[in-house]
Amino acid sequence: MKKIEAIIRRERLNDVKDALEKLGIPSMNVIEVTGSGEQKEFKQQWRASEYAVHLIPKIRLETVVSDENADIVAQEILKAAWTGSVGDGVIFITPIDEVVRVRTGDKGADAL
């Protein structure tokens, strides 16, 4: 099993979610995060003052899939999140040793 974490633009969430649902991946966690990367600060204005924002708001989407689906899922996230601009995001794929469903006690692939 693999955990896929994608840090993406907030406005691309629905496209990514729709792409994953078409693949049959309905289970995911979505967390609002802030961070920095290649996309540097940008200027905001509040009332009469202008200020720099150093931590950019993003979405972190997490899902766990079987080993054989990991590349397909990552490619679909890549296609759905891509705008071609700096700040599109990043995808992390990490191994998962075990999954246990709390309600049933199912383990491994059965718990997905």
pLDDT of residue 41: 65
Here the tokens at position 41 are 């600060």
Calculated CA dihedral for residues 87, 54, 5, 61, nearest 10 degrees: -90
Say which residues have a Cβ less than 8 Å from residue 38's Cβ, sequence separation at least 6: 86, 87
* Stretches in the chain below the pLDDT threshold 50: none
If you search the block for the tokens 């979505």, which residue do you land on? 30
pLDDT of residue 47: 74
pLDDT of residue 24: 93
User: How is the chain split into domains, by residue range?
Assistant: 2-111
pLDDT of residue 22: 96
Here the tokens at position 92 are 């992390």
Which CATH code for domain 2-111?
3.30.70.120
